[in-house]
Amino acid sequence: MKINVTRSSMPPYKEYCEEIKNLWDSRWLTNSGSKHMELEKQLCKYLKTDNVSLFLNGHTALELALNALNLEGEVITTPYTFISTTQAVVRNNLTPVFCDIREDDYTIDADKIESLITEKTCAILPVHVYGSVCDYKKIDEIAKKYNLKVIYDAAHAFGIEIDGKGIGTLGDISMFSFHATKVFHTVEGGGLTYSDNNLTPILKKLRQYGMRGQEEVTLVGTNAKMTEMHAAMGLCNLKHIDEEISKRKKAFDRYIERLNDVQGLKLFKIGKDVKHNYSYFPVVFDGYKYSRDEVADILVRNDIFARKYFYPLTSEFEVFQNRFEIQSTPIAKSVSEKVLTLPLYADLSVEEVDKICDLILG
């Protein structure tokens, strides 16, 4: 049996069928239907945030978040992320400025942000990578001091709380991905959370061709709506999310139990005052008897597909070379060459975790 790095959660088949049944009567399949509205409402509650706007995927949500804030110039961000983060910046005709990360939790090093600020800087785009909560207090301080917007890529951070606050309440806007491989999903989907109510009508227009009502177009928009079928999947998955997260925790805890205190392995640490979601299990192989690539090969030979998240850095992709200045980020570079993200999903059994650990410890 193959073990992949992740495996999509599915609600009971009957529950989904039940949820979508009335669509055959209503024939209202998209454009802010009742399931869409209900999911927004339930997500506000679950994520403990004032507003949630839904989109057809997380990436487009992030592009439109930057768009909605009317940004121009440079955005300070991290190269230690999925390519989507950097693409969202570039596709808004903004220039990414890459800041290094912290060695302990892999998030943007807030102490290095200020030295990258120029008169063109308009925003900071940090990533709560693997669900590590960014140094939001320091980021907030800097943003206030220089009048910058803060948009969090919270794609990995569904359901995380810090000091009892929903993680989506940080910064101006946070983006959550509801892609099939994420902790909570709508097959494809994404959401933005924010406290400024004025953003709601702008985001609504942006995801609906810039239209206001049926006869007015006031913004240059696109089509980025979530359908009722996808919202229905979200409603079903949301019913089981706490159970899913606690199943993930079992596998996560077993990894810790087996790999803790092994010389040359650096494990993920959950920050204090954080309610975590057990989304990923990254291990940094630094001075271990096998290199990261050797461990990946051993696992592949046993039909286990861990992933080199995040390698290479987004700043290293060919498409960005010679387009703008690429800052050097030595810590991010070093981590990206040593990290392997091990399989982790709700159905991953303790026996499977043991098999993976036996191979790594071999």
Ligand X SMILES: *Cc1c(COP(=O)(O)O)cnc(C)c1O
Q: Which residues bind ligand X (CB under 6 A)?
A: 57-59, 81-82, 84-85, 127, 153, 155-156, 177, 179, 190
- Find the residue with minimal CB distance to ligand X: 58
Torsion region of 207: left, alpha or beta (phi above 0 gives left; psi -120 to 50 gives alpha) = alpha
CA gap 298, 303 in Å, rounded: 9
Measured from the CB atom, the residue of 179 and 247 that comes closer to ligand X is 179
CB of 310: closest distance to ligand X in angstroms? Answer: 8
Dihedral sign for Cα atoms in the order 16, 49, 83, 122: positive
CB of 91: closest distance to ligand X in angstroms? Answer: 13
Q: Which residue has the tokens 């190269």?
A: 79
Instruction: Identify whether the C-beta of residue 245 lies closer than 8 Å to the C-beta of residue 279.
Output: no
Measured from the CB atom, the residue of 241 and 259 that comes closer to ligand X is 241
Q: At what angle do helices 83-91 and 58-68 cross, to 10 degrees?
A: 40
Measured from the CB atom, the residue of 160 and 360 that comes closer to ligand X is 160
Measured from the CB atom, the residue of 179 and 248 that comes closer to ligand X is 179
Measured from the CB atom, the residue of 218 and 223 that comes closer to ligand X is 223
| CA distance to 93, 125, 212, per residue, from 151 (Å) | 16, 5, 25
The length of the chain in residues reads 362
Strands 304-305 and 274-275: unpaired
Instruction: Identify whether the C-beta of residue 341 lies closer than 8 Å to the C-beta of residue 280.
Output: yes
Instruction: Identify whether the C-beta of residue 160 lies closer than 8 Å to the C-beta of residue 129.
Output: no
CB of 342: closest distance to ligand X in angstroms? Answer: 16
Measured from the CB atom, the residue of 156 and 292 that comes closer to ligand X is 156
- Cross-strand pairs, 243: none
CB of 59: closest distance to ligand X in angstroms? Answer: 3
Strands 161-162 and 190-194: unpaired
Coil, helix or strand at residue 248: helix
CB of 127: closest distance to ligand X in angstroms? Answer: 5
CB of 153: closest distance to ligand X in angstroms? Answer: 5
| CA distance to 32, 82, 87, 317, per residue, from 311 (Å) | 38, 9, 16, 10
Measured from the CB atom, the residue of 59 and 333 that comes closer to ligand X is 59
CB of 360: closest distance to ligand X in angstroms? Answer: 24
Listing DSSP states for 235-302 in one string gives HHHHHTHHHHHHHHHHHHHHHHHHHTT-TTEEE--PPTTEE-----EEEEESS-SS-HHHHHHHHHHT
| CA distance to 3, 38, 166, per residue, from 237 (Å) | 22, 13, 19
Measured from the CB atom, the residue of 174 and 208 that comes closer to ligand X is 174
CB of 177: closest distance to ligand X in angstroms? Answer: 3
Measured from the CB atom, the residue of 43 and 259 that comes closer to ligand X is 43
Half-sphere exposure of 320 toward its Cβ, with a 13 Å CA cutoff? Answer: 24
CB of 351: closest distance to ligand X in angstroms? Answer: 28
